[in-house]
Amino acid sequence: MAKRLHLSGLIFGLFSLASMPVSALDLLQIYRDAQNNDSTYAAARAQAAASREKYPQGRAGLLPVVNYTASKTRVNTTTDYDTHTQALTLTQPLFRWANWESFEQGKLQAAQAETVFAQAGADLIVRVAQAYFDVLAAQDTIAFIEAQQSAITQQLEQAKRNFEVGTATVTDQQEAQARYDLAVAQEIAARADLENKRNALRLIVGKPVNDLRPLPTKVVLSGPQPANAEPWVKSAEENNYAVMIQQFNQKIAEHEIGKARGGHLPTLDLTASRNKNYQSFNSLTGTDSNTTSTQIGVQLTVPLFAGGGTQSHVRETIALEDKAQQDLESARRNAAQTALQSFAGVQSGLAQVRALEAAEKSSQLALESNKLGYEVGVRINIDVLNAQQQLFQTQRDLAKARYDTLINGLKLKASNATLSDEDVEAINRLLESGTSSALPLPPRRKEALKLKADFSIAPTSVALRHDAAD
């Protein structure tokens, strides 16, 4: 049995959302809007619809061609007369190797279209999540700056009082004022950055975006299982959408060689026709003429010489098939690199979150100690301000690390072609309640699996599941 890969949960915890605006949009709502309004995804949908027509187009070369023609001619001679002709012709290919190869290509191209569209769907999830968390990160920055401003204001007021009673110098007051002015400037820049991030999300969803549901602050993140990169990398080398697309390209290129070589082969067609000719007046017989004829037979065409063009075309397609081979190898390497980077991003993100959680506690204790030291005269105002800034910076970095870990988790699943709507729903449940329950195995992209089975591109069994927190 193939080894199963799973991301256990990624995020679990408890968080109170009582202060969150009722009208706040969540990730699932944003994602649904993006599915309907994102122009890149809409273009991919239209391209998939167009590419699906390659199958009936290729099949048409194996089916009969029926034509009907009619004409009427006025002949002016010594005796004027009219000629009416009608013809019904049918041509059924019996042996046309190039047509058969085109039919096989059409099947592959239609199948490839489903894989390309599936890749666009996975890309949309990652883009939406990235833009969503970018907005949250920008909002966090503003919140932390505002908290810092509040703390600096309190410290400034305390420095003024201490200066008035003679227990502090004017330097303490000036340092606090300088920190406050700097925080104001940072807030202006942060609000501009938030507007840019919202505009980026707006481009995807097609409408203005204001309040978003935040990620809970008390969450536990768990990493991918198995906890080593090799199975993920191996799976990506076979199941990544880009790899699958290049596998289709290689097979299409192989059939293109067959089409080119078919130029050397004879063609055999079944032909049938029925012709009707009416002449209003025949000058030779002096009467009208009305004839009907039916013909049926086979037509053999043997190519003898085409100026070397056929041989050249064969050499061209062989070179292009070799290019497709190299593109496939490049896609495998890129998929492996992406999976490796995403896996490392999740692992390092988890480590960073743990370190920053510890740093947050230490920074909180350091701030309290510095405040107490300032009150008893063993610390100066700048020590308190530095401790406050360190705490707020740590909190902001911690939130950003959680977002990055989530994004890398999605990218890791995308690299294995297992990212689905259920992953969006799982994160969305976390945004709603701060907790997440066990989920069933998310379905692989059914189209891609079916296509790989149909066209002998052997898949590697990969499944990802969410486990409930212990």
Least confident of 140-144, 147-151, 389-393: 147-151
d(CA 290, CA 275): 11
Element (H, E) at 279: strand 267-279
Enter the tokens of residue 17.
């959302």
User: What is the residue-averaged pLDDT of the chain?
Assistant: 83
**CATH number, domain 6-61+99-264+310-454:** 1.20.1600.10
The amino acid at residue 199 is N
d(CA 161, CA 133): 42
- Determine the average pLDDT of the residues in 199-222: 87
What pLDDT sits at residue 241?
96
- Determine the average pLDDT of the residues in 405-420: 93
Is 307 or 454 the better-scoring residue by pLDDT?
Answer: 307
Least confident of 23-32, 217-226, 247-256, 451-460: 451-460
What pLDDT sits at residue 283?
56
Quickly tell me which residue has 């293109």 as its tokens. 256
What pLDDT sits at residue 226?
79
Enter the tokens of residue 248.
């289709």
**Over 50: is that where the pLDDT of 16 sits?**
no
What pLDDT sits at residue 286?
60
Answer whether 413's CB lies under 8 Å from 464's CB.
yes
Instruction: Please check whether the domain covering 64-95+266-302 is classified as CATH 1.10.3470.
Output: no
Answer whether 298's CB lies under 8 Å from 119's CB.
no
Q: How many helices (H) and strands (E) does the chain have?
A: 11, 8
pTM: 0.79
Answer whether 323's CB lies under 8 Å from 252's CB.
no
What pLDDT sits at residue 129?
96
What pLDDT sits at residue 168?
62
d(CA 425, CA 436): 10
What pLDDT sits at residue 10?
38
**Over 70: is that where the pLDDT of 458 sits?**
no
d(CA 229, CA 341): 9
Q: How confident is the model over 340-359, as pLDDT tens digits? A: 999 999 999 999 999 999 99
d(CA 121, CA 238): 19
Q: How confident is the model over 283-341, as pLDDT tens digits? A: 555 667 788 999 999 999 999 998 999 999 999 999 999 999 999 999 999 999 999 99
What pLDDT sits at residue 432?
64
59 CB-near residues (< 8 Å, 6+ apart): 103, 106
96 CB-near residues (< 8 Å, 6+ apart): 61, 262, 267, 268, 269
**Cβ atoms within 10 Å of 312's Cβ, excluding its own:** 12
Is 202 or 24 the better-scoring residue by pLDDT?
Answer: 202
Answer whether 321's CB lies under 8 Å from 291's CB.
no
450 CB-near residues (< 8 Å, 6+ apart): none
- Determine the average pLDDT of the residues in 431-436: 54
> Which segments of the chain belong to CATH 1.20.1600.10?
6-61+99-264+310-454
Answer whether 350's CB lies under 8 Å from 404's CB.
no
88 CB-near residues (< 8 Å, 6+ apart): 66, 67, 68, 273, 274, 275
**Over 80: is that where the pLDDT of 272 sits?**
yes
Q: How confident is the model over 32-52, as pLDDT tens digits? A: 999 999 999 999 999 999 999
Q: Which of 224, 146, 258, 260 is nearest to 409 (CA)?
A: 224
- Determine the average pLDDT of the residues in 240-245: 96
Answer whether 262's CB lies under 8 Å from 101's CB.
yes
State how far Cα 301 lies from the chain centre. Answer: 48
**Over 50: is that where the pLDDT of 84 sits?**
yes
Least confident of 55-64, 175-184, 436-445: 436-445
What pLDDT sits at residue 397?
92
**Over 90: is that where the pLDDT of 152 sits?**
no
d(CA 465, CA 137): 27
**Over 90: is that where the pLDDT of 437 sits?**
no
> Which segments of the chain belong to CATH 2.20.200?
64-95+266-302
